[in-house]
Chains A and B, each alone.
Chain A
Amino acid sequence: MIMKKFLAIVLAAVMALSLCVTASAEQPFAGEYDVTLWVAEEIKELTQKQVDDYNATNTDGIKINATIEAVSESDAATQMITDVEAGGDIFCFAQDQFARLVQAGALDPLGVKASETVEAANAAGVVAAAKSGDVLYAYPLTADNGYFMYYDKSVIPEEDVDSLEKLIADCEAAQKYFAFEMNTSAWYAASFFFATGCHSNWTTDDEGNFVSVDDTFNSANGLVAVKGMKKLVDSPFHLSASSVNEFNAGAAIVVSGTWDFVTAQEILGDNLGVADLPSFEVDGKEYHLGSFNGCKLMGVKPQVDAIKAGVMHRLAQYLSGEQCQMERFEARAWGPSNLVDQQADAVQANAGLAALLAQSPYSVPQGQIHGSWWDIAKVIADDVKAAQDDAGLQQALDNYYNKIAELFKLDSSALLFVGAWNGWNNADQEETYYLKDGAVTLEVPESDYMGGRIVSPGNWDTDKGFLQVTEGKELIQDLGEEIGDNNIVFLAPGTYTVTWDGAAITITQN
């Protein structure tokens, strides 16, 4: 008995003591942490310095022992997905890899407070690129991943830079190339479509899955865009390339981004001209070429240790903050996404970023885009070049649209209605209908079996049938007892609309 009491007292004391310890620790994150950082080769040393600065200035008692590895931002997702567990704790990546990383569970979302701070401090387009659904998954690092025009002043007169037609004529007259990557990159080719107000907006859910697309490339405006594109790709002096090294190989104009600025300056020296993209004219109307406006992001890997996760987020917030972005601009001319940095005089004075800024009213923030889109859209230019007339151009757009539509048919979230309306014995000739916006209209002819059910492609057993029908039960018969299935079997032939809202099925007779 005494023993028990003693034990209870001891236990109580231990618990009280541990409470004291927790309460007295004003610095819950204090300690040493081994961290692996993946950054681009060119900012490796700078990042080490920034981590040292963080160690010296943070008030949480955090000490970071950083291992900094050079991993290309365009390759970070592939490397990360190889083995998330062994990947970098904090890593930088170009935004086109965002969806893959979210899907692979390689990004730890930001907390509420951090999200608010980051959203307020950075350009809206960049914040949108770091979000899936409403969840912010990464820290914005730059806002300079767009393109504009470099040109050789000795060939192109300055007054011509606003007109695509004049530029093409100048290049042809001088026997020099106009390098604008059309046939091999959708990133550049989309420029013409954005000029005429077309868009391709993709929606992702909170887990990074693509759920729908709003795409207007195949439209009257799209046709105007491809007419403009045809002017360029038909020129014998058009070159589908995007490296300023083409200036060495006979190019007079190269459409590229800030990353090529230093190289361009080395090659052309005083002859280097920089400008926003030109306009093209179709049916007497001018259209200013658009562009993608992309960014680089910094992600934090999910951690087993919650404390370490907190520390990683603090470090990432620091490294993507105002001061560090400015340092990166000063060292490597990376265009900041931080709103305060964007207003700095030095940033405003940078010729490359200035051209990007001039282009920005015509640019479209690069949101979440399905990985297959890049391959689907890049063939447009080839189709356009091959087209003989307007019908051919329309065909190019149709091809594009069909492939986009297919993407969602193949997507596992799409549903279809499979049925054997023309009779039980003809079940091998089943009709398959894709549910568009969750609904399908069926023409049911008279036959001995007028049934079917909603399934996911490739998964016949996913029963979404009779049992889920909430409205319109009077139109169908219950064969569940009789033959043990969940099929929707209509009582009479006719035209029906079947709607699926994710949980319930509604049937109406038209």
Chain B
Amino acid sequence: MSESTMKRHMGLRTSRAISNTAIHILLIVISVVWLIPFVCIVLQSFRVEGTGPVGYIIPKQWGLDNYSRLFETDFPRWYLNTFIAALVTAVFQTIIVLCMSYTLSRFRFKMRRPLMRIMLILGMFPGMLSMIILYRVLKDLGMTQANAVPGLILVYIASSGMGYYVSKGFFDTIPMSLDEAARVDGATRAQVLYKIILPLSKPIVIYTILTAFMGPWGDYVFARYISFGTSAGKNVAVGLYDWLNKDQISKNYTMFCSGGVLVAVPVTVLFMCLQRYYVEGVTGGAVKG
């Protein structure tokens, strides 16, 4: 190797090293910025000295008091409310979305296109617009305040049929010939869905379950509106946020942090276990075969 090529190689290597370092530094800065709030909340949840917000991050005394105190409050009830709402919604929304996508992907009927268009337009209206009228309806059904959970489930599930886009896109990529072969062998439409399509679309099913679970899990605005003035109907987001009211923050701030950590745990675990499918699912619908 001549000297000049050596030099050129060196130049290339150094410039690559420099740009890599720069990119890594940038990424580190971004992730630090992004992670700081979470780290703060986790650290503060273990702080034993004082219960209000303070100007430093690392606790002077560590302990689990905040976690044990949580169980003396209504927190378990809120947690259960949220969990039930999220679980039931996840089950029903997944079923509805998958059936809807299958129908729109495989069946050809007269109103198919107009229906898809109507749903597209309906989806453009912000859901918040319907809040007041929904409140009125739920109140007449007796599903507000202490009975907020069934009311919330109803609202979460009601429009789930409209979220078919991603899974329909995925189903479209599965060749029709598979369906036809199964049909020739005597399978019903339902059997085609359960035995052929679904096993092939595991990522998209998991993605649907996850998004259906996450919506109610983190909902604040609607849950607060429906469950106002009662502790029994609150979900975790509403309940925890109320601890930040000015007359409660000095007593409950560290407990708020520990509550926040407990809320994040199941979602984090769920994501870690299903991450592989989730990424496939998000991008899955985008590829057209």
Point out residues on A near B: beta carbons under 8 Å: 36, 38, 40-41, 69-75, 79-80, 82-83, 86-88, 94, 239, 241, 243-246, 248-250, 259-260, 263, 266-267
Contact = CB atoms under 8 A, between A and B. Distances in A.
B231 A69 contact: yes
B52 A72 contact: no
A423 B251 CA distance: 67
Contacts of A71: 229
Given A69-B230, A79-B229, A83-B228, A248 B242 contact: no
12 contacts: A41-B248, A71-B229, A74-B246, A79-B228, A83-B135, A83-B139, A86-B144, A243-B53, A243-B249, A245-B51, A248-B56, A249-B54
A244 B250 contact: yes
Given A72-B242, A83-B135, A267 B50 contact: yes
B54 A82 contact: no
Given A74-B247, A75-B242, A249 B55 contact: yes
Contacts of A267: 49-50
B60 interface: yes
B250 A260 contact: yes
A238 to B, nearest CB: 13
Interface of B: 49-56, 60, 74, 135, 139, 144-145, 225, 228-231, 242, 245-251
Contacts of A266: 50
A-B pairs, 8 with minimum CB distance: A245-B52, A249-B55, A72-B245, A245-B50, A82-B228, A249-B54, A243-B52, A79-B229
Contacts of B49: 248, 267
Contact of A40 (B135, B228, B230, B247): B247
A239 B55 CA distance: 10
Nearest to A91: B229
Given A246-B54, A248-B50, A73 B247 contact: yes
A88 B146 CA distance: 13
A249 B144 contact: no
Give the interface centre of B52, B229, B249, B250 by most chain A CB atoms within 10 Å: B229
A73 B242 CA distance: 11
Give the interface centre of B55, B249, B251 by most chain A CB atoms within 10 Å: B55
A249 B245 contact: no
A243 B50 CA distance: 11
A83 B148 CA distance: 15
A249 B135 contact: no
A70 B50 contact: no
B54 A259 contact: no
B52 A86 contact: no
B63 to A, nearest CB: 15
Contacts of B135: 83
Contact of A263 (B52, B55, B230): B52
A266 B135 CA distance: 45
B229 A86 contact: yes
Nearest to B145: A86
A382 B229 CA distance: 36
A85 to B, nearest CB: 8
B229 A250 contact: no
Contacts of A250: 55
Nearest to A68: B231
A381 B251 CA distance: 28
B247 A259 contact: yes
B245 A245 contact: no
Contacts of B50: 245, 248, 263, 266-267
Give the interface centre of A40, A74, A245 by most chain B CB atoms within 10 Å: A245
Contacts of A244: 52, 250
A72 B241 CA distance: 11
A150 to B, nearest CB: 12
Contacts of B51: 245, 263
Nearest to B232: A69
A248 B60 contact: yes
Contacts of A69: 229-231
A88 B245 contact: no
Contacts of B245: 72, 74-75
Given A74-B245, A75-B245, A243 B250 contact: yes
Contacts of B242: 72, 75
Given A86-B145, A87-B229, 18 more contacts: A36-B229, A41-B248, A69-B231, A72-B242, A72-B248, A74-B245, A74-B246, A75-B245, A239-B55, A243-B54, A245-B50, A245-B52, A246-B54, A249-B55, A249-B56, A250-B55, A263-B52, A266-B50
Nearest to A251: B55
A79 B54 CA distance: 29
A494 to B, nearest CB: 54
B236 to A, nearest CB: 16
B172 to A, nearest CB: 44
B60 to A, nearest CB: 7
Contacts of A245: 50-54, 250
Contacts of A260: 250
Contacts of B246: 74
B231 A246 contact: no
A75 B49 CA distance: 27
A260 B144 CA distance: 35
A260 B250 CA distance: 8
Contact of A246 (B55, B228, B230, B251): B55
Contacts of B250: 243-245, 259-260, 263
Contacts of B60: 248
B145 A72 contact: no
Contacts of A41: 248
Nearest to B226: A82
Nearest to B73: A41
Contacts of B53: 243, 245
A432 B52 CA distance: 51
Contact of B231 (A40, A70, A263): A70
Contacts of A38: 229
B248 to A, nearest CB: 6
A267 B47 CA distance: 14
A88 B50 CA distance: 33
Given A72-B248, A245-B250, A82 B225 contact: yes
A31 B54 CA distance: 51
Nearest to A256: B250
B135 to A, nearest CB: 7
Nearest to A75: B245
A72 B242 CA distance: 8
A417 B231 CA distance: 52
Nearest to A80: B229
Contact of A248 (B54, B247, B249): B54
A187 B56 CA distance: 25
B127 to A, nearest CB: 18
Contacts of A70: 74, 231
A267 B246 CA distance: 20
Contacts of B54: 243, 245-246, 248-249
Give the interface centre of B74, B135, B242, B250 by most chain A CB atoms within 10 Å: B250
Nearest to A94: B247
B56 A82 contact: no
B55 A82 contact: no
Give the interface centre of B49, B60, B74, B228 by most chain A CB atoms within 10 Å: B228
